[in-house]
Amino acid sequence: MKCDAVVLAAGKGTRLWPFTETTAKPAIEILDRPLIHYVLDFLVHNGVKKPCIVVNYHKDDVIRAVESYGINACFVDQKEPKGTGHALMVAERYVGDDFIVVNGDLFLDPSVVIPSNSILVVNHPHNGEYGTVVLYGQKLVALREKVPGTLINGGVYRLGDSVFDHLHDLAPSPRGEYEITDVLPKLGLDAVVVSPDRWLDVGRPWDLLTATRRALSTLPNRQDGDVSSHATLRGKVFVAEGAEIRGSVYVEGPAYIGPGAVVGPHTYIRKYSAVGRDARVGNAVEVKASVLMAGTHVAHLSYVGDSVLGKGVNFGAGTITANLRFDDRPVRGVSRKLGAFVGDGAKTGVHVSLMPGVHVGAGAWVFPGSVIYSDVPSGARVSGIYTRSDN
């Protein structure tokens, strides 16, 4: 059986550091589901029976994630990172004459339908950080990189096998890669235009917060775990089987508490928060609009706001994530409120302050009493007032 979709899942995702240092981007979890599961939801809704997954970086992560979904898939290794066009070419012998191509790092509304010979276009003004689509009527006529515009290339295409004729004749781009975007305007594709609330490119750490918000909107209000009669749940709160909500806990929905997670006592979980499987949020901790991934511990006397903590992170007592600048300017030019982004296995000692927008690399240690103003490299050991001139 030929594959009827190609998922481009081989890239390193360096912009999503520190989380992609230890995990392939498509395997990073949103509400305890790998990101690629949401891509597969979209493909299944569009009738896909057998996707071909192009892998390379941390490929075992991606393979395990796809296998856990339970779909019949094949995998092909893009042994050298030569661009999206090259990634599609390595899948050529696996596909038929009508197939969907999708980037493996998208969070899509699964109800979006992509018909034959079409491209997904997002109606959203941008300053040049995305590929800009130029249409004549509903036909794609050009794709322009690094140019501001009002239409975004959504990274989803439904193509015929004629695309390979153009790819084989493709010259490398100035950065030495073979780009699928260089051939798409030659294919006479129709545009399927969607609003930005139905599409998200999970390219930066703070995009994990947006993806979590959208995923929370699809969850039911359900408590399968052990919820104390002395806990208060308001709004839509999903408590997975095996989770425990202890006494004097207050949870505002929408919120997610994963399997094996323990929350409380005396804990405040505010809306748009997700506590991953086997995580621990303890006494006098407040979590606001944040993601705590699997196995992370914030045991006591801490504040986590507008932040993402990776897998197996450990916050010492009194660790605070600051999320608002004194001058009220957008943090990293993104949002008025933005906290910390802490890589897998990182640790803080007691009374640590992480300033707005700080990234802490995987496996880093921040010693007690430190104030962190700059990004901490992976595996580093830092203390005191930490500021780097190259940040």
The residues annotated as belonging to the active site are 300
Q: Copy the structure tokens of residue 193.
A: 């235009």
- Measured CA to CA, the distance from residue 103 to residue 361 in angstroms comes to 25
Give me 127's structure tokens.
Answer: 């300053």
| End-to-end CA, the chain | 51
State how far the Cα of 374 lies from the Cα of 366, in Å rounded to an integer.
Answer: 12
Q: How far is CA 216 from CA 62, 178, 250, in A?
A: 23, 37, 18
User: Residue 291: beta bridge partners?
Assistant: 274, 308
Nearest to 117 by CA among 154, 91, 156, 145: 156
CA distances from 213 to 197, 210, 255, 339 (A): 11, 5, 9, 16
233: Cβ contacts below 8 Å, ≥ 6 apart: 223, 227, 239, 245, 251, 253
User: C-alpha angle 288/294/361, rounded to 5°?
Assistant: 80
Contact present, 67 and 36 (Cβ < 8 Å): no
Contact predicate 128/143, CB 8 Å:
no
Sort strands 341-342 and 359-360 into parallel, antiparallel or unpaired: parallel
